Amino acid sequence: MNAPAKPLASASVSVLADRLRPVLLRLSRRLRREADQVGLSSLDAILLGVVGKHEGIGVSELADKERTSRPTMSSHVKRLEAAGLLAREAPSEADRRRVGLKLTPKGTKAIEALRRRRNDWLAGRLAALSPEQREAVAGALEALSQVAGLDQ
């Protein structure tokens, strides 16, 4: 068992950030390449993933989640609809103005293929690590999730 980590001095935090940044960029770039292999842009993959997790989400909500303008998001949604990856749901009885989004079967297939490719690649890389290294990666997940804002 490792001893508890000592707090890093602010200079050490800066060094850690400088070392972590290129690693995260390289991982991100490699995972984006997997999206290209299934015919999706990185943005397509993100938007399809969000809609898949939040079926019925509206364009405005999607824009807010992705911190982009509503007109910009609307054009992305229209493009994904035209590609047959997204569909608009019929308005609800509660609010006839609100139209939700859902994945089409083609969109579901694309996002599942992408997840498989990404997971297969990453699992292969993780399998090449020692058990101790894998444990260290697992131990860092919570902190990295906080850094990425995934805990919000």
Q: Across residues 18-43, what is the average pLDDT?
A: 92
Q: Calculate the dihedral angle through the C-alpha atoms of 117, 74, 51, 150, rounding to the nearest 10 degrees.
A: 80
pTM, 2 dp: 0.76
The answer to whether residue 83 sits within a structural domain is yes
**Domains in the chain, number:** 1
The answer to whether residue 92 sits within a structural domain is yes
Distance between CA atoms of residues 85 and 28, nearest Å: 23
- CATH value at residue 34: 1.10.10.10
| More reliable by pLDDT, 43 or 92 | 43
Q: Which residue's structure tokens are 């290209």?
A: 36
The answer to whether residue 2 sits within a structural domain is no
Strands 101-103, 86-88: pairing kind:
antiparallel
* pLDDT score at 152: 61
* pLDDT score at 99: 81
Q: Across residues 19-40, what is the average pLDDT?
A: 92
pLDDT, tens digit, 9 for 90 and up, residues 102-150: 999 999 999 999 999 999 999 999 999 999 999 999 999 999 999 988 7
* pLDDT score at 1: 45
Least-confidence region, from 12-21, 24-33, 93-102, 115-124: 93-102
Distance between CA atoms of residues 110 and 116, nearest Å: 10
pLDDT, tens digit, 9 for 90 and up, residues 53-86: 999 999 999 999 999 999 999 999 999 999 999 9
The answer to whether residue 6 sits within a structural domain is no
Residue numbers of the domain that contains 53: 15-148
* pLDDT score at 83: 97
